[in-house]
Amino acid sequence: MRDSGGCSLREVNRTEKVDEQKLLHANYDFEHIGNGPGPGGWRMSPNGCFRCRDCEYMMSGDSSASDQCFCGHLFKDVEAGRIGCVDGDDAIGVYRVVPKVAP
Ligand SMILES: [Zn+2]
């Protein structure tokens, strides 16, 4: 797990993001909860994930750092406390992150 010591998107290069995604998919499964914000708003939690339907980037629901997907369609603005997508909220898949059980 990375700690979010004031890292901004500009400091994180693409290779690092690709590696993070590989690690995420290697260690976790994703349970689809729905699309768009729920009744209580966005599920901003480290146990949650948001998926860009265009580039399939899985964005952590951790509310401590802003983020953006590979194609730029999906973004997280922690100061505003929201997730956004150029294609609309319904284009955002909301997932629960489940650690894979070791075989
Ligand atoms: Zn994307």
Q: pLDDT tens across 7-60, in order?
A: 445 555 789 999 999 999 999 999 999 999 988 889 888 899 999 999 999 999
CA–centroid distance, 18 to ligand 1, in Å, is 13
**Which residue type does 44 have?**
M
CA–centroid distance, 63 to ligand 1, in Å, is 19
| Verdict on whether the full-model pTM lies above 0.75 | yes
CA–centroid distance, 3 to ligand 1, in Å, is 23
Rg (the chain; Cα; Å): 13
**Count of Cβ atoms closer than 10 Å to residue 82 Cβ:** 14
**Count of Cβ atoms closer than 10 Å to residue 48 Cβ:** 20
Q: Rounded to whole angstroms, how far apart are CA atoms 61 and 38?
A: 14
Alpha helix (H) residue ranges in the chain:
14-27
